[in-house]
Amino acid sequence: MNNVEELPFSAPAERNKESILQVLQRLLPREARVLEIASGWGQHAQHFARRQAGWAWQPSDVDASRLPMIDTRCAGIANARPALHLDVVATPWPASISDGAPYDALLCVNMLHASPWATCPGLMRGAAAHLARGGLLILYGPYRVDGVPTVPSNEAFDADLKARDPTWGLRALADVQREAEAVGLGLREVVPMPANNLIVVFARSE
């Protein structure tokens, strides 16, 4: 896999990468160690690492067949590390995932609704173990928020997800927050994003 133009890609990632980058640039310092969970096709790793040379970017995914594609996309970007295999449900995560130095941030885009619920507590346990004190867990995706009906397009998306896999589906922000708080990650901020998505920021206590 050498020609980036011919690689498979995610259309949503192309649409959302710039708006996510703008929020990350506000949340993160110029120099930061970032672990990306569920990097998928690698478009976010490529875009974010290229635009912020001070971010040491570590992509990962459970799907080992995707790792070469991520590396091809990030080839030549000095601050992008070779993609690692990581299943967030694994307990514990392999120590090699942070190589002895905790991360300033973990980023997870569009995974929680496209995987079984067990990925949520798994992600929280791993984040608590591999984030520095005060480090951020940053989630992006569509969520159900108490008292606010989701828009019809999100309901249709939820039905489509469940048709593909009955264990998938939109998650309630309150359920995600409960799992985060159980491991010492407090809700810091919720940022409305285009197309009825949210960025949800949790922080590990100091």
Minimum distance between the CB of residue 65 and ligand SAM, rounded to whole angstroms?
A: 9
Q: Which amino acid is at 164?
A: R
Minimum distance between the CB of residue 147 and ligand SAM, rounded to whole angstroms?
A: 27
The residue (of 75 and 118) whose beta carbon lies closer to ligand SAM is: 118
User: What letters, b where the CB count within 10 A reaches 16 and e where it falls short, cover 158-193?
Assistant: beebeeeeeebbbbebeebbebbeebebeeeeebeb
Angle at 106 between CA 22 and CA 66, to 5 degrees: 95
The residue (of 13 and 106) whose beta carbon lies closer to ligand SAM is: 13
The residue (of 123 and 203) whose beta carbon lies closer to ligand SAM is: 123
Minimum distance between the CB of residue 166 and ligand SAM, rounded to whole angstroms?
A: 15
| Interface with ligand SAM (CB under 6 A) | 10, 13, 37-41, 61-63, 86-89, 109-111, 114-115, 119
The residue (of 1 and 134) whose beta carbon lies closer to ligand SAM is: 1
Helix 119-130 vs helix 173-182: crossing angle, to nearest 10: 40
Say how far apart CA 132 and CA 33 lie, in whole Å.
10
Name the closest residue to ligand SAM (Cβ). 40
Say how far apart CA 105 and CA 30 lie, in whole Å.
12
Minimum distance between the CB of residue 206 and ligand SAM, rounded to whole angstroms?
A: 28
Sheet holding 103-109, edge to edge: 55-58, 32-37, 103-109, 131-141, 197-204, 185-193
The residue (of 41 and 57) whose beta carbon lies closer to ligand SAM is: 41
